[in-house]
Structure 1
Amino acid sequence: MAYTPTLLDAAAILVAVILLNRLFGKKPAGPLPPGPKGLPLIGNMLDMPASHEWKTFAQWGERWGDIVSVTFLGQPFVILNSSKHAVDMLEKKSSIYSSRPVIPVGGELVGWNRTLALLPYGNKFREYRRLLFQLIGSRKNMERFVPLVDSKTRAFVYELYKEPNTLLKHIQKSAGAIILMMSHGYEVKDENDPFVATVDEAMEQFAICTATGAFLANIFPPLAHIPSWFPGAGFKKTAAAWRKTLDLMCDQPHNFVKQQMAAGTNIPNFTSDLLEGELTPERETLIKNAASSLYAGGADTTVSAIQTFFLAMTLHPEIQEKAVAEIERVVGTDRLPTAADRENLPYVNAIFLETLRWNNVAPLEIYAAIPHRSIEDDVHAGYFLPKGTIVIPNIWRMLHNPEVYPDPFTFNPERFMKTPGHEPETDPRTMVFGFGRRICPGLQLADISIFLAVAMSLAVFKIEKPVVNGQVVEPSTEYSTGTVSHPPPFQSEIKPRSAKAEAIIAQLAERHD
C-alpha cells in the first residue's frame, strides 16, 4: 500500500527544522521579557487562549509585568499591556516596529495583504498612507466631508425611527453609505445593497482567516504551501472561495467608478480623483487597493462602536437623561445637534469617549487588530527582542487599567469631565486608534461619524430595556471574540422621547422621502 503523507507528518518535519535551528542557529544576545514558561520545541502553544485573548494577556501582565513574552515554535511574541511601552516602542522606534507579520491563510492565500491592514512596511505602504492622509488624515482635510457625515447620520436617525427593531442593519448601512460615497462616489441602496453585503461578508471572513488558531497553517506557515490534494488541505479551498469575496469587495466599487467616469455621471470621490490622467496598471491597482483599505478599515469598527453606544444607553437611562438635559440647554428642542455644537456639549462628548473606552472595538489594536513585527534586533527595557518579533499592543488592558481608569468596567462618562477635585482621565483616542506609523488612517472619520451618531440619537430617542411578557429583558455585555469585537445580539426599545423629538424626525422625513 502506498504511503500517504498527513498534516501530522508535515508538522513533525517542521518541528525537526526548528530543533536544528535551536541547536545550530545564532544564540540570542539577551533575555526575552518574562512570561509563562513554555514547553520544549512548541513553546507556549498550549498556553494561548482560544478566545478573548486580551483578557488572558492582561492576566499575564498582572503576574509578569507590562511587557510579557511567549514563544510559538521558536517565534517570539511580545505583549504590551501599558501605553508607555507601546509609545516607547511603536511610536518612538516606529522605523523598527511598523511592519506586519506574515499571516499565511488570511494574508497570502485569501489576499488581505493587498490592503493596508496587512501590507508590510515599505514604499507601497507609505504611498497608501500618503493617499489616505490627503483625503481624511487631518481635521482640515476631513472638514469637507462633515456635511456628508451629517446628512447620512440624519438618514440613519429617520430610518431607525421607521424600523427601530433592526438597529444593526441601519448602523451598517449608514457606515457603508458614508465611506462608499467618499471612496467611490456610490450611493448606497435603501435595501440589500450588494456592495455593503459584500464588504460585510468579506470582513466576517477576515476576522476568521487572520486569527492565529483558526487555521493550522497560520501556526505552521509551511503548511500553506502544501498541494490542495494533500490530506487535510481543505483550508485551501476555503481560502480560494474567500479570495473571490475579497476580489469582489475590491473590484465592484472600482469598476463602478470607471463606468460612471466613462458615462460622465461620476460624483467626484477618492478613486475618481486619482484615476484622472495617465495611469499604469500598477498605479491603478494601488489606487483600487487603497480605496478598499479605507472601506474595510472603517466600516466594521464604526459599526461595533455605535452598537456599543446603544448597548450602554440601554443599560444606563440616567446617563441618557443627563445628556438630553445638556443638549436641550445648548441646542434646544427644534433641531438636531451638529459638529459645530460639539465643543459646547462636553457631557455628550464624554459619552462618546466612554463608548470608545468601555468595550473598545478592536481590543488588540483598532486598525484591523493586527500585530506589529520588528524588522531589526532591538533592546527594550533591558530585554532583547530579535528581528521578526511579533508585538501585540493589548489596548483592552490599557483601557481597563484601574490605575488609569478607576472602576474600569463601569460605563461612566464623568471620568472625562473636569470637576472640582477631579481631572479628566486619559483620552482613550490616544490608544484606541493604534500607535506609530500603523495608527488608523481613518481616525478623523471615525471620530466625527461616531460622535454625530451619539449626539443625534440622544437628541431624539429614548433607549430602554424592552419588557417582554411583563419581564424586563437584561442585555448581555459579553462581547464577541475576533479581530473586531462586537456586542452580543441585544434588544432595545427605541422610540421618540417627546412630541418635539418626533417633530424633528418629521422634518427629516420630508428630506429623506
Structure 2
Amino acid sequence: METLLGLLVFLLLLSAVLRLCKAIVAGNGRLPLPPGPPTFPFVGNLFVIPRTAPWAGYRDMSKKYGNLICLHALGRTVVVIGDVQTAMDLLEKRSVNYADRPELKVVQLTGWDWNFVFAGYGQWWRERRRVFWQCFRPDAIGNYRERQGNGVRRLLSGLLASPEKLSEHLRYSLTAIVLGSVYGMEVVEEDPHIATFEKGFESVEFLISNSSLLEYLPAIGRVPTWLPGAGLLRRVAEIRQAVLSIRNTPWDHWKEVSRTGDGQDCIVHSMMELLSHSYDEVNLTSAQEDVARDAAGTAYAAAVDTQFATLQRFFVAMSLYPDVQMRAQAELIRVVGHDRMPEEEDRDRLPYVNALIKETLRWYPALPMGVARRALADDEYNGYRIPKGATVMVNAWAIMHDDKVYPDPERFSPERFLKEGALDPEVMDPASIVFGIGRRICPGRYFADTTMFALIASVLHSFEISPRLDDDGRPVATRPHAATGIISRFEDWHCTVKPRSSLETEI
C-alpha cells in the first residue's frame, strides 16, 4: 500500500512539473498573469488555496492583490474575479470566451456528466439548454403556478402540524413543487425520491473533500473496488448510482404513466413535444430522448437544493431581524388582508417583500463561488493575460458583500433596495450575479424567483419566526455560518415557527 501511495505521489508531482514547464514556455514574451500569492516549486499555490469558506479567503486575497487574482495548483491556472465590474467586463461583454466549463474528471467518475450545468460549451450543451429554456422562460412559468401553490400549502400545513420538523417540511414541499412541475409526479411525505436526492447532494460534499485525488489521478477510477484500501472507490460507485437515480428514476416514472395517456400536464411532456417538432419526428430516437431526460434531470437537481439553501437564509434572517419580519407582515396584511393567501398578482404591490427576497439572495448566496468557467482562448484585461484553458471563478459572495455597492453588507436590510416606497432601480439586483452571468446564466431563474416569492410571502403571512429556545426557555440567536460547498447550506438554522392566527380555515 505504501509503495502504491508513493507511486501516486510521484506521478502527481511529475504531472505538476510538466504542466509548469509548459506554462513557462507558453508565457515567455507575453503580458503578465494577474497578481496572486507567491508560488512554491512543483505545487504552486496548492497549500494556500482556501479550503474552508473559500469565498472569504479569496476576498482577503483580493484586498491584497486586486480584484483579478491568479493562482496555480499542480500546473493548473485559476483566475478569481472579486468585483462586479470585472465580472461583467469578462463574463458578460466577452461571454463567448468564458462560456465553457473546466473538464472535471471527477464529474464523470461520479455520474454527474449528464447535468448540462457542468457541460462544456458546444452542441451537446446547446441542445439541452435550448429545450430547458423553452419550458422555463418567463411566459411559460405561469403554467406551473398550481403546482407551486400545492407545494406552498403542503409547507404551511406541515409547519402548522409539526413546526419542529421545519427542515423535513421544506425539503418535502420543494421536492413536490419540482417533481410535480417537471414530471407530473405526486410526492408523499418520506418519499424515497427525497432520500435519493439527499444522497446525491451528499456526493457533492464528498467530492469537494476528495476532488484533488480523483481529478489529478483519474486512473484510480479504474482500480478494482474489491482491492484493499479501495474504500474511496467503493464510495464513488455508490455515489454514481445515487446520482444516476436522480436522472433516471423520475424519468422512468413519467415514461410509464405516459403509456397510459397520463403525464401530459408537466414540463417533460412539453419538452418531448418541442423535440418532436425540432426533429420533425413522431417517435424520437434514444439519443433525442436523452436531451429531454438530461434537461429534466438538471431542473430537478439544480432547483431543489439551491432553493432549500436560500430558504434556510430566509428563516435565519427572520429570526435575527424581527423588525424586518414585522414590516413585511404589515405590508402583506395591508395588501392581501387576512382572508386569503398571497398570490403572484399581488407582487407588484408588495415592494418590501420583493426587497426582502432580493436581500435573501444577497446576504449569503447559495452558490458563493458560482460554477467555474474555462477560458476558450487567450485574453487580455487591464494589462494582464488570462491564458487559454484557465479556470475562471466569480466570487459572488465577495461581490454581494462589497460595501461600496451594499453599505453595511453584513446586516440583513431590505431597505437598501427601496427608495420612496418602491424598488430602487439604481441599486444592483443580486439576481444579476447570483444566477450567473453571460451565456451560462441560470435558465431556471424565473421559475426559482416565482417559487421563492410564493413560499416566502405565504410563510410571512401565516407564521411568526423567532430564535429557538434553550432548555430554560430563553431565546438563543442563531449564528449565520455557511458550510463550505458548491451549494452552501447554513450549518445551524434552528428557529421557532408559530402560527400568527388560526390557520386551519386559511390553508
Following the alignment from structure 1 to structure 2, what is the Cα–Cα distance between the partners of residues 214 and 471?
41
Q: How does 1:472-491 map to 2 (within 5 A)?
A: 472-491=475-494
SS at match of 1:507: coil
| Letter of the structure 2 residue corresponding to residue 214 of structure 1 | N
Displacement after TM superposition at 1:52 (Å): 0.6
Displacement after TM superposition at 1:221 (Å): 4.5
CA separation of 1:101/1:232 partners in 2, compared to 1, >3 Å: closer, same or farther? farther
Displacement after TM superposition at 1:417 (Å): 0.8
Displacement after TM superposition at 1:335 (Å): 1.1
Task: Decide whether the 8 Å contact of 2:101 with 2:118 is kept in 1.
Answer: yes
Cα deviation 1:13-65 (Å, max 9, x = unaligned) = 32343355356556363211111111122111011112110001101111111
Aligned to 1:249: 246
| Letter of the structure 2 residue corresponding to residue 374 of structure 1 | A
Q: How does 1:142-161 map to 2 (within 5 A)?
A: 142-161=141-160
Following the alignment from structure 1 to structure 2, what is the Cα–Cα distance between the partners of residues 432 and 163?
33
**Gaps spanning 5+ residues in structure 1: where?**
509-513
Following the alignment from structure 2 to structure 1, what is the Cα–Cα distance between the partners of residues 402 and 475?
32
Following the alignment from structure 1 to structure 2, what is the Cα–Cα distance between the partners of residues 250 and 226?
23
Q: CA RMSD in A?
A: 2.3
Cα deviation 1:414-471 (Å, max 9, x = unaligned) = 1111039995632111111011111111100110111111111111111112333132
Following the alignment from structure 1 to structure 2, what is the Cα–Cα distance between the partners of residues 306 and 28?
50
Aligned to 1:377: 378
Displacement after TM superposition at 1:222 (Å): 4.8
Aligned to 1:39: 40
Aligned to 2:474: 471
Displacement after TM superposition at 1:130 (Å): 0.7
Task: Decide whether the 8 Å contact of 2:272 with 2:289 is kept in 1.
Answer: yes
Displacement after TM superposition at 1:74 (Å): 2.3
Aligned to 2:276: none
Q: How does 1:262-341 map to 2 (within 5 A)?
A: 262-275=259-272, 277-341=282-346
Following the alignment from structure 1 to structure 2, what is the Cα–Cα distance between the partners of residues 275 and 92?
34
Displacement after TM superposition at 1:226 (Å): 5.9
Q: What TM-score comes out, normalization by structure 2 length?
A: 0.92
Deviates more, 1:334-343 or 1:424-433: 424-433
Displacement after TM superposition at 1:336 (Å): 1.1
Aligned to 2:31: 30
CA separation of 1:134/1:3 partners in 2, compared to 1, >3 Å: closer, same or farther? closer
CA separation of 1:101/1:19 partners in 2, compared to 1, >3 Å: closer, same or farther? closer
Task: Decide whether the 8 Å contact of 2:128 with 2:295 is kept in 1.
Answer: yes
Displacement after TM superposition at 1:200 (Å): 2.0
* Count of residues in Structure 1 that have an aligned counterpart in Structure 2: 495
SS at match of 1:178: helix
Cα deviation 1:473-494 (Å, max 9, x = unaligned) = 2212111111111112332221
SS at match of 2:163: coil
Following the alignment from structure 2 to structure 1, what is the Cα–Cα distance between the partners of residues 316 and 70?
35
Q: What TM-score comes out, normalization by structure 1 length?
A: 0.91
SS at match of 1:89: helix
Following the alignment from structure 2 to structure 1, what is the Cα–Cα distance between the partners of residues 79 and 228?
34
Aligned to 2:223: 227
Q: How does 1:65-214 map to 2 (within 5 A)?
A: 65-105=66-106, 107-137=107-137, 139-189=138-188, 191-209=189-207, 211=208, 213-214=209-210
Displacement after TM superposition at 1:301 (Å): 0.4
Task: Decide whether the 8 Å contact of 1:373 with 1:390 is kept in 2.
Answer: yes
SS at match of 1:494: strand
Aligned to 1:511: none
Displacement after TM superposition at 1:12 (Å): 3.4
Following the alignment from structure 1 to structure 2, what is the Cα–Cα distance between the partners of residues 470 and 91?
51
Displacement after TM superposition at 1:151 (Å): 2.8
Following the alignment from structure 2 to structure 1, what is the Cα–Cα distance between the partners of residues 369 and 289?
32
Task: Decide whether the 8 Å contact of 1:28 with 1:386 is kept in 2.
Answer: no
Following the alignment from structure 1 to structure 2, what is the Cα–Cα distance between the partners of residues 161 and 382?
59
Aligned to 2:453: 451
Following the alignment from structure 1 to structure 2, what is the Cα–Cα distance between the partners of residues 280 and 46?
49
Following the alignment from structure 1 to structure 2, what is the Cα–Cα distance between the partners of residues 300 and 420?
33
Following the alignment from structure 2 to structure 1, what is the Cα–Cα distance between the partners of residues 423 and 292?
48
Following the alignment from structure 2 to structure 1, what is the Cα–Cα distance between the partners of residues 193 and 423?
47
Following the alignment from structure 1 to structure 2, what is the Cα–Cα distance between the partners of residues 285 and 330?
46
CA separation of 1:227/1:27 partners in 2, compared to 1, >3 Å: closer, same or farther? farther
Following the alignment from structure 1 to structure 2, what is the Cα–Cα distance between the partners of residues 306 and 3?
48
CA separation of 1:30/1:232 partners in 2, compared to 1, >3 Å: closer, same or farther? farther
Displacement after TM superposition at 1:310 (Å): 0.8
Aligned to 2:355: 350
Task: Decide whether the 8 Å contact of 1:109 with 1:236 is kept in 2.
Answer: no
CA separation of 1:484/1:494 partners in 2, compared to 1, >3 Å: closer, same or farther? same
Displacement after TM superposition at 1:134 (Å): 0.6
CA separation of 1:231/1:31 partners in 2, compared to 1, >3 Å: closer, same or farther? farther
Displacement after TM superposition at 1:275 (Å): 3.9
Following the alignment from structure 2 to structure 1, what is the Cα–Cα distance between the partners of residues 67 and 25?
32
Displacement after TM superposition at 1:270 (Å): 2.2
Following the alignment from structure 1 to structure 2, what is the Cα–Cα distance between the partners of residues 294 and 61?
34
SS at match of 1:268: coil
Aligned to 2:10: 9
